[in-house]
Copies of this chain bind each other. A is one copy, B any other.
Amino acid sequence: MARAATTTDAFNAVAEPRRRAILEVLADGERPVNDLVARLGLPQPLVSKHLRVLREVGLVDVRGAGRQRIYRLEGRSLEPIHDWVKRFERTWERRFQRMDEVLEELKEQEEEESDDE
């Protein structure tokens, strides 16, 4: 088995920095493809391909407007990533450090007690 497809989920889609750049631009408001091309300085086919990946995982939406196609951010698809990472927030946030130390001590005590049984 090879690496999971980029279209598997938001985690894989967002691992590519250029796709993150696209999302950052779209966070400012919807844009047609050529706007993204100009702003990012990338070849148009490359941008279209990245947009396809983003669309397949639901991170963007498209709407036709004349000959343009307007892409819009679908931020909700980032929520799983947000939720997953947030569970680890305590491991680097200073304000949780002392609390976690206490919990760690308590857990070690419990383990010692169950060893004595």
Q: Which residues of A contact B (CB under 8 A)?
A: 3-4, 6, 11-12, 14-17, 20, 23-24, 27, 29, 73-76, 78-79, 81-82, 84-92, 104, 107
Contacting residue for A23 out of B3, B79, B88, B104, CB 8 A: B88
A66 to chain B, nearest CB (A): 18
Identical chains in the assembly: 2
Q: How far is A22 from B97 in the complex, measured between Cα atoms in Å?
A: 21
A109 to chain B, nearest CB (A): 13
29 CB-based A-B contacts, threshold 8 Å: A3-B3, A3-B6, A3-B16, A4-B16, A4-B17, A11-B15, A11-B20, A12-B15, A15-B15, A20-B84, A23-B88, A27-B87, A29-B104, A29-B107, A73-B91, A74-B91, A75-B89, A75-B90, A75-B92, A76-B92, A78-B85, A78-B88, A78-B91, A78-B92, A81-B81, A82-B86, A82-B88, A82-B89, A85-B85
